[in-house]
Amino acid sequence: MPLVLVILGRQGSGKGTQASLLSERYGVIHISTGDMLRTAVAAGTELGLRAKAVMDAGDLVGDDIMIGIVDERLAAADIGAHGVLLDGFPRTTAQADALAQILGGTGPDLAINLDVPIAEVTERMLARGRADDTEEAIARRLELYEAETAPLLAWFEDRGCLSVIDGLGTEDEVFARLNKAIDAL
Ligand code: AMP
């Protein structure tokens, strides 16, 4: 399997933008589970109908559903050929365990935590004005991030693949830091 990367970070940390830049530079396929879900919602599929209320409330879609979606996507030939950058998955340790199983018992090559403080991401999210970015939903997502996703950092650290990158600064500055971490692999 070619390069397997995971990017973690609070909503509003800039991880989506950086993930797109990274997938271009390293030739890996960018998979955003948030984008996959939003596409399903827009298309009105069964998955979309189930996910919409959960997403609007800022809650997490169930592990079984998410693991099923990612398992199926990672089995596609393009991933085996080009590698992958997972953005928004795993979000829980159950999802991380499932990912390790999908990868044949190992963690990713690198899990990047794009670190931006809570006050800064809240300001950025309110400024971008997305439909699901109400103040309640933002607060709920950040609370969930701390509760569910922060333990993931320990999960990756235990497997020796965690890299914490300062997400403050310009897009170029942050991208340069990310390149340095990945090129060191
Ligand atoms: P994102 O674009 O990554 O911020 O995701 C938007 C929303 O989709 C989240 O607030 C969750 O409701 C849902 N979501 C995306 N990825 C996952 C995941 N791995 N596990 C559970 N819910 C997810």
Please report which helix (H) or strand (E) contains residue 18, including its range. Answer: helix 15-26
Confidence (pTM): 0.93
In the Cβ-directed half-sphere of 66, how many Cα atoms lie within 13 Å?
Answer: 26
Residue 135 has pLDDT above 90, yes or no: no
Q: Nearest 5 degrees, angle CA 13-CA 113-CA 64?
A: 90
How remote is the CA of residue 166 from the centroid of ligand 1, in Å?
22
136 class by beta-carbon count within 10 Å (0-12 exposed, 13-18 middle, 19+ buried): exposed
**Which of 44-58, 105-119, 122-136, 163-177 bottoms out in mean pLDDT, i.e. has the lowest?**
122-136
How remote is the CA of residue 89 from the centroid of ligand 1, in Å?
8
For residue 1, name the pLDDT band (cuts at 50, 70, 90).
low
Phi, psi of 118, deg, nearest 5: -55, -45
How remote is the CA of residue 181 from the centroid of ligand 1, in Å?
25
Q: Whose CA is nearest to atom 8 of ligand 1?
A: 34
Which DSSP state fits 113? Answer: E
3-state secondary structure of 82: helix
Q: What is the mean pLDDT of residues 159-180?
A: 97
List the end-to-end C-alpha distance of the chain, in Å, as a whole number. Answer: 15
Residue 50 has pLDDT above 80, yes or no: yes
Residue 111 has pLDDT above 90, yes or no: yes
Phi, psi of 104, deg, nearest 5: 90, 30
Which of 6, 61, 63, 102 gets mutated to test ligand 1 (max ligand atoms within 8 A of its CB)? Answer: 61
**CA–CA gap between residue 170 and residue 176 (Å, rounded):** 10
Which of 91, 92, 114, 125 gets mutated to test ligand 1 (max ligand atoms within 8 A of its CB)? Answer: 91
**Which of 43-52, 83-92, 148-157 bottoms out in mean pLDDT, i.e. has the lowest?**
148-157
The finding on whether 33 has its CB within 6 A of some atom of ligand 1 is yes
How remote is the CA of residue 140 from the centroid of ligand 1, in Å?
12
